[in-house]
Amino acid sequence: MSALIVKRHLPDGLEMARKHRLPRAVQNAIPEHHGTMVMAFFYVKAQEQDPTVRREDFCYPGPRPRSRETAILMLADGCESSVRSRRPQSRDDIRETVDYIFETRLQGGQLDDSGLTLNDLRLLRDAFLTALQGVFHPRIAYPGAPGPGVSQLPVGSSMSLKAGTPPASVPVHEQGSGVSAQPSADSGTDQPRPPHRGNARGRGRRPHPPGVDKPGERERPRDHT
């Protein structure tokens, strides 16, 4: 039943392509890119239950690719789906999978009517390897790498969020002044006042260095005698 459903997507797709008046080349690619290959997964499963099943019942109806474009589509579809399902652990795994797809299509006669040459296949293989290794390359697992948002700072560190962050209610200009926001429990004295910051107009200004004229101040005449 599963094999019949998979095979059915070809005539259904071809009917949709005709309905929407897709180009003839696209319509031809729908049945041709599967050729007459056997649906190996379903065939093997069926053999496990009934060794007498016919291989022809698990083959695509065809025809085989009759143009270079549909043959390339067949190879690309087979390589991408196989690499994605096998989850390769190395670049060698990807290379072996691509070589297997090319070899089975070539030896099975699926490319006989496509017009592709052996040199074309070599160029296609190299191009597929470059693309697939860039997409499905194995990623390095860094040992002990924290997840997103996890801090690696030691607990109690001066840089830890728990050990030195002033409360959000304390104004920015009072943070780091060394003055506690509440009176000490063991001192028995009133809260000391913060250090004098000067008037409001002068707050935040740097002291002017001595002997240098302030901006906007006229230069005083000097005694040259």
β-partners of residue 38 are 59
* pLDDT > 70: percent of the chain: 60
- 37 contacts 56 by C-beta, under 8 angstroms: no
- Tell me the per-residue pLDDT of 100-149, one tens digit each, with 9 for 90 and over: 999 999 999 999 999 999 999 999 999 999 999 998 876 655 665 554 44
Instruction: Tell me the CA distances in angstroms from 172 to 3, 12, 62, 177, 195, one per residue in order.
Output: 70, 68, 75, 10, 15
Task: Render 19-34 in DSSP notation, one character per residue.
Answer: HTT--HHHHHHHHHTT
Q: List, in order, residues 6 or more apart from 64 with CB less than 8 Å away.
A: 32, 35, 36, 109, 110, 111, 112, 113, 114
Q: What is the pTM of this model?
A: 0.60
